Amino acid sequence: MSQVNDYVFSTEESSYPPNQRSLPFFFKNLNNSSHSQSDKIIGASYSHFDRPSGSRSRTSISPERTSIGSVGSLSPRLKTSKALKRLSVFDDDDDWDDGIEEEFLGKETKSLGKLYPDLEYVKPEFQQPSTAPARPVSLIRENYKDILEDPFVILNGLDLQDYKHHKLTELLNADSESLDLNELKKQSWKGLPTELRGLVWQLLLGYIPSNPSRRQSVLQRKRKEYNDTIEQIFNKSKDQIIWHQIIIDVPRTNPSIKLYSYPVIQRLLERLLYVWAIRHPASGYVQGINDLATPILQVFLQSYLVAQANVANLDPDKLDVEILNHVEADTFWCLTKILDTIQDNYIHEQPGIMRQVESLANLTLRIDEKLYTHIKEQNLEFLQFSFRWMNCMLMRELKMDLIVRMWDTYISEFPKGFNEFHVYVCCAFLMKFSEELKEMEFQEMIMYLQDTSKTENWDETDVEMLLSEAYIWQTLYRNATAHLK
Q: How far is the CB of 384 from other proteins (least distance, A)?
A: 6
Give the span between the Cα atoms of 476 and 366, in whole angstroms.
Answer: 11
Q: Which is nearer to other proteins, 48 or 86 (CB)?
A: 48
C-beta closer to other proteins: residue 190 or 252:
252
CB of 40 to other proteins, least distance (A): 9
- To the nearest whole angstrom, how small is the minimum distance from the Cβ of residue 45 to other proteins? 4
Instruction: Give the nearest distance from C-beta 283 to other proteins in angstroms.
Output: 8
Smallest distance from the beta carbon of 256 to other proteins, in angstroms?
A: 7
The candidate with the shortest Cα–Cα distance to 85, out of 263, 224, 182, is: 224
CB of 280 to other proteins, least distance (A): 13
Q: Taking each helix axis from N to C terminus, what angle separates 194-204 and 181-189, rounded to the nearest 10 degrees?
A: 130
Is the Cβ of residue 81 or residue 362 nearer to other proteins in the bound state?
Answer: 362
**What does the CA dihedral 14, 17, 19, 24 come to, rounded to 10 degrees?**
70
Contacts of 443 by beta carbon, 8 Å cutoff, 6+ apart: none
Q: For the CB of residue 393, give the shortest distance to other proteins in the complex, in Å.
A: 11
Q: Which residues does 84 contact at the CB level (< 8 Å), separation at least 6? A: 220, 223, 224, 227
Q: Least distance in Å: CB of 206 to other proteins?
A: 28
Residues 410-428 as b/e (b if ≥16 CB within 10 A, e otherwise) read: bbbbbeebbbbbbbbbbbb
DSSP string across 16-42 = SPP-GGG-TTS-TT-TT----GGGTTT
Query: How many Cα atoms occupy the beta-carbon half-sphere of 160 within 13 Å?
Result: 18
Residues of this chain that interact with other proteins (CB under 8 A) are 41, 44-51, 53-54, 58, 62-63, 245, 248-249, 252-256, 284, 286-288, 290, 346, 348-350, 354, 381, 383-384, 387-388, 391-392, 396, 443, 446-447, 450
Nearer to other proteins, 43 or 193 (CB): 43
Toward other proteins, which CB reaches closer, 136 or 255? Answer: 255
CB of 76 within 8 A of CB of 20?
Answer: yes
| Identity of the residue, 19 or 253, whose beta carbon is nearer to other proteins in the bound complex | 253
- Our CB check for other proteins shows the closer of 105 and 447 to be 447
- For residue 415, say if its preceding peptide bond is cis, omega within 30 degrees of 0: yes
CB nearer to other proteins: give 286 or 296.
286
Checking 284-287 for CB contacts under 8 A at 24+ apart, the result is 284/239, 284/242, 284/346, 285/242, 285/245, 285/246, 286/345, 286/346, 286/350, 286/391, 287/245, 287/249, 287/391
